Structure 1
């Protein structure tokens, strides 16, 4: 056990290609500051050059352009460059500010990079494929118009389609033709010896997004399981591409990064699927450090009960504790959360956790409109 989160590398025989730091709730100042401090140390000591967040992969290109010296100002970039309104979190703004300052005057090979690795999927709707299909067509030189296939964006982003498949346009003739076109265009950058990184991103996102819309229109009982699995498969594909670039720090909800199967209740059903962490850990050198918290008083989460993992860690007086997963008590019970936006650690999943960062007390977020439920 240590109180220095920068000692996270002591958990591994060598720096993993992808180091994943999970969070049990979104938007907490303490966890975001801890993440930022860890990333700086990884850059300075361990050769990491990319940080990937659970945010829209296409919007993330705006942030990456900015931190590598592009035009713009911090307010505009953080507002437009994050999904889920997470650009309002002070920790994310601090991260972008530090990355741009760090890169100033450095050659491109030594600059730090930003990436979103989530699909263009909000909790209430999936995006229209217009943005990514237009970018894919332009990057591959496709000459034909596609507006007649796309139609109105509002058809694609209809919030009612999230729970009602009859409201989705994902299986219309136009949508099926778009899926075939996206598949054909995706082969073009993949067949080039000098594969263009952004064209490949557009290709992955277009095919994944149209697949997601297709299953939104599915009336079967497996519909929600398919949607959850497709989202994490898109995340995993983006992480594998970032790993090809070099050592990367990944930050997202614990449920997306764990090696075990993910599970949740939605629409009155218990759903299980393989998350991004499980998918990428089977392919490359992957390290997973989960985060846990003691109290979140603003949401009624009090001192953790004895016998839980959080209760064991809360017994230490330090504000922050880092411990190896193997050192946590066997036979712990799962903590119950009174707030939907916080997911306690599941003791049954600890065998797939390399380490746990425990933050004793969580302070309120400074975001004016923070939405911190699981996404």
Structure 2
């Protein structure tokens, strides 16, 4: 079996090796990770993105972070708005702004764009940053205020007031105190959520009407302001409707509640990714479970929940040539108690290879080689790491293997 595995190893983790596994240059190249918060994995991502920019013409990177907060990062890397410290503090969710590797990514993107401007390159050559997650933290969802009022303000500035379904004052009254939307107990206790209140129901209708008006006025709006302004307004609309839908599900006490919440989060992610695909090729980075083509699952307090990931949704829309998924598997995270993998697991078989560096493998050839017997599933001793399911190899376009993740 080990000899067969050696035959499937492609190359070190480089853009040329990854692209060599694909049918063509995809619009969305999704690089997954099995755990969060490890800068060594983010450095692999950063190096790959630099090479994709320089060798393959990629100009956008999007990560598993708040899509609304990410606008500040994009403004900084494209135009220098704000400071690096400010965007690292306010432009990321989930604590990602504290990462040294994320800071280095943003700094490099800004430097690249400054050089591009000095060289007189067109705006289309600038690097772009985006978050593609909703404004959702682990235990809470944001108020829809920011996205909904921003959408209304954009429309109010450019279309006849008589076409608007409501005034800004009406939105403010219906939204009420933002603390109502972010109640710390709402994730565990549906009765604490305001997502099915009369005000929330009315806001969902208004958000739908505002989004429809944005689409109906597109020919005017893209010339009255700019295509980027219209595209940003579409993000506001997707976010507002997605948040209101998510809050509605938070208030539902049905047994399927958590599965529905997981699915709604990935639906928000998928819609943001599909919009980004219209810009041109982008590198996508998130947890493997959000990017895989196979159904995702998680063991929660009430049992196992399953849902279709953002990657599965996007792949079904764009097709195999336009969406590529390259997950990451790893050997050890010793500082988290994840020691050398058992030799009969996928990670254990790869860990036995002589190469100490990361490598890219042909996932489908690897799947074909590991059939008799198939690898045993690895069990993680730490909740923050999800071993790669070897049953997902055949639906992946490649596999990055990182032998050891050092403490940073």
Question: TM-score, normalising length from structure 2?
Answer: 0.88
Query: Residues 313 and 321 of structure 1 are in contact (CA less than 8 Å); yes or no, is this contact kept in structure 2?
Result: no
- 3-state DSSP class of the match of 1:2? strand
Alignment of 1:154-303 (within 5 A): 154-191=179-216, 192-193=218-219, 194=222, 196-284=230-318, 285-303=322-340
Q: Match for residue 134 of structure 1?
A: 149
1:358 and 1:308 map into 2 onto residues whose CA distance is 13
Q: Match for residue 391 of structure 2?
A: 348
Q: Match for residue 311 of structure 1?
A: 348
Aligned-residue CA RMSD (Å): 1.1
Identify the match of residue 96 of structure 2 among 65, 86, 93: 86
Identify the match of residue 326 of structure 1 among 364, 370, 373: 364
Query: Residues 23 and 252 of structure 1 are in contact (CA less than 8 Å); yes or no, is this contact kept in structure 2?
Result: yes
**Alpha-carbon offset, residue 358 of structure 1:** 0.7
Query: Residues 323 and 355 of structure 1 are in contact (CA less than 8 Å); yes or no, is this contact kept in structure 2?
Result: yes
Q: Match for residue 144 of structure 1?
A: 168
Q: Match for residue 10 of structure 2?
A: 2
- Tell me the alpha carbon deviations over residues 213-244 of structure 1, each in whole angstroms, 9 at most, x when there is no partner: 00000011111111111000000000000001
Larger proportion of helix: 2
Q: Match for residue 54 of structure 2?
A: 44
Query: Residues 30 and 359 of structure 1 are in contact (CA less than 8 Å); yes or no, is this contact kept in structure 2?
Result: no
- 3-state DSSP class of the match of 2:168? coil
1:327 and 1:320 map into 2 onto residues whose CA distance is 18
**Alpha-carbon offset, residue 327 of structure 1:** 2.9
Identify the match of residue 113 of structure 1 among 128, 153, 158: 128
Q: Match for residue 35 of structure 2?
A: 25
- 3-state DSSP class of the match of 1:235? helix
Identify the match of residue 339 of structure 1 among 357, 369, 382: 382
1:251 and 1:144 map into 2 onto residues whose CA distance is 36
Extract unaligned runs of 5+ from structure 2: 1-8, 157-163
Runs of 4+ in 1 over 2 A off after TM superposition: 327-330
2:329 and 2:186 map into 1 onto residues whose CA distance is 34
2:241 and 2:154 map into 1 onto residues whose CA distance is 15
250-259 or 137-146, larger mean C-alpha shift: 137-146
- 3-state DSSP class of the match of 2:328? strand
Query: Residues 149 and 168 of structure 2 are in contact (CA less than 8 Å); yes or no, is this contact kept in structure 1?
Result: no
Query: Residues 364 and 395 of structure 2 are in contact (CA less than 8 Å); yes or no, is this contact kept in structure 1?
Result: no
Higher Rg of the two aligned structures:
2
Question: TM-score, normalising length from structure 1?
Answer: 0.95
2:29 and 2:212 map into 1 onto residues whose CA distance is 30
1:70 aligns with 2:108: no
Q: Match for residue 4 of structure 2?
A: none
**Alpha-carbon offset, residue 138 of structure 1:** 0.5
Extract unaligned runs of 5+ from structure 1: 366-375
Query: Residues 17 and 286 of structure 1 are in contact (CA less than 8 Å); yes or no, is this contact kept in structure 2?
Result: yes
2:75 and 2:297 map into 1 onto residues whose CA distance is 35
2:151 and 2:183 map into 1 onto residues whose CA distance is 23
2:77 and 2:340 map into 1 onto residues whose CA distance is 40
